[in-house]
A and B are shown apart, each in its own frame.
Chain A
Amino acid sequence: MRFLYPIAIVLVIISAFADRKKTQQSLKLAWKKFFSILPGFLTMISLLAVITLIFPLEKTGELLTAHANWLGLLIALSIGSAIFVPGFIAYPLSAVLLENGVPYYIIAGFTTSLMLVGFASLPIEIAYFGKKTAIIRNVCGFFLSLLISIVIGFLYGEF
């Protein structure tokens, strides 16, 4: 994710050459926007820190390995919705779980809800788009993850 820095710097330089005033204005705006959503970000990391303490990744892996059935899918969807794990950690872990006999449909439910549903980022989403839409979008995301995992289960012949 460091590659965003050179992009941002080059864009700022180009912008400064084109129009100094506009560039100043945009940097000020960037700071204002960042600061006004900062409480949301801090709430998010606080929630994530607490959730990660309760559900460490190893424990999630053990839970999913122990319940290779519908209950496991429900657990996968719920924990996936609550925690935040970047892809470069989530996918290697999923590959290990597969080797340990966790079916594809549970992996699909876990990785998809991980990305689509964000319980901890709800404060940010509510601040931007309002409570109703934020909740509806996340509920939609949950069912979408469920559907994807059902299709995966069928196509991998697991049902």
Chain B
Amino acid sequence: MKKFKNTLSWLIPAMVIGFATGARFSGFTPGAELFNNLWQYLKTLLLLLPPVFIIIGLFEVWIPRKYIEKHFGESHGISAWIWLMLLASTIVGGLYVSLPLAYSLYQKGIRLRLVYGFLGFSTICRIPMTFFEASFLGLKFTIIRYIVAIPLIILSSMLIENINRN
């Protein structure tokens, strides 16, 4: 993982948070709204992330690299895609949850295209999201989306892996 350059990486959040907080207490309306938005997103993150990272920590310590490499490494089978799809379907939140998880998988020796497959699946196969979608937009909509998206996710993961190797 590329380390964030210490001061610079804190700069944007510090500026926005500082501005929003200042505006909030000086009564500048858009600033107060900004502060409100920030607070909502921060709450969501702080509620969701602790258990996610605890599970990631346990995963990294307990799951042997050999096992992962054997089933999800260079010579993985089709079942690897299916297992990752099942894992991805349980993701909650969004990319910001699946990204740290995907990186842990990657460090354990999962093949790159499976990492990208997992990321893709985590955006299109999430179980709670699917239920919402089917009940509000109709089952037909959801089925079409799945049938179109899954092969495309697999294809684009392979493409991204190839680009990465050259």
* A→B interface (CB under 8 Å): 1-2, 4-5, 7-8, 11-12, 15, 22-23, 25-31, 33-34, 36-37, 39-50, 52-53, 84, 86-88, 90-92, 94-95, 98, 104, 107-108, 111-112, 115-116, 118, 121, 123-130, 132-133, 136-137, 140-141, 144, 147-148, 151-152, 155
Say whether A140 contacts B17, CB under 8 Å: no
* B→A interface (CB under 8 Å): 1-4, 9-10, 12-13, 15-17, 20, 30, 33-34, 37-38, 41-42, 44-45, 47-58, 60-62, 92-96, 99-100, 102-103, 106, 116, 119-120, 123-124, 126, 128-129, 132-133, 135-137, 140-141, 144-145, 148-149, 152-153, 156, 159-160, 163-164
Say whether B94 contacts A33, CB under 8 Å: no
| Cα separation A147 to B16 with both chains bound (whole Å) | 36
Q: How far is the CB of A37 from chain B (nearest CB, A)?
A: 6
Say whether B55 contacts A7, CB under 8 Å: yes
Q: For B2, B45, B95, B141, which residue has the most chain A Cβ atoms within 10 angstroms? A: B95
In the complex, the 9 A-B pairs of residues with the closest C-beta atoms, listed nearest first:
A30-B57, A42-B13, A8-B51, A46-B16, A39-B9, A26-B61, A4-B51, A49-B37, A26-B57
Say whether B136 contacts A137, CB under 8 Å: no
Say whether A140 contacts B159, CB under 8 Å: yes
| Cα separation A109 to B81 with both chains bound (whole Å) | 25
| Cα separation A1 to B43 with both chains bound (whole Å) | 12
| Cα separation A74 to B153 with both chains bound (whole Å) | 21
* Given A12-B58, A112-B145, A49:B20 Cβ within 8 A: yes
* Given A42-B17, A46-B38, A144:B156 Cβ within 8 A: yes
Q: For A27, A44, A84, A87, which residue has the most chain B Cβ atoms within 10 angstroms? A: A87
Say whether B100 contacts A151, CB under 8 Å: no
Say whether A148 contacts B148, CB under 8 Å: yes
Say whether B133 contacts A29, CB under 8 Å: no
| Cα separation A31 to B100 with both chains bound (whole Å) | 13
Write out the residue numbers on chain A whose beta carbons fall within 8 Å of the beta carbon of B159: 140
| Cα separation A86 to B48 with both chains bound (whole Å) | 13
* Given A1-B47, A91-B136, A148-B148, A118:B96 Cβ within 8 A: yes
| Cα separation A49 to B60 with both chains bound (whole Å) | 33
Say whether A39 contacts B54, CB under 8 Å: no
Say whether A137 contacts B93, CB under 8 Å: no
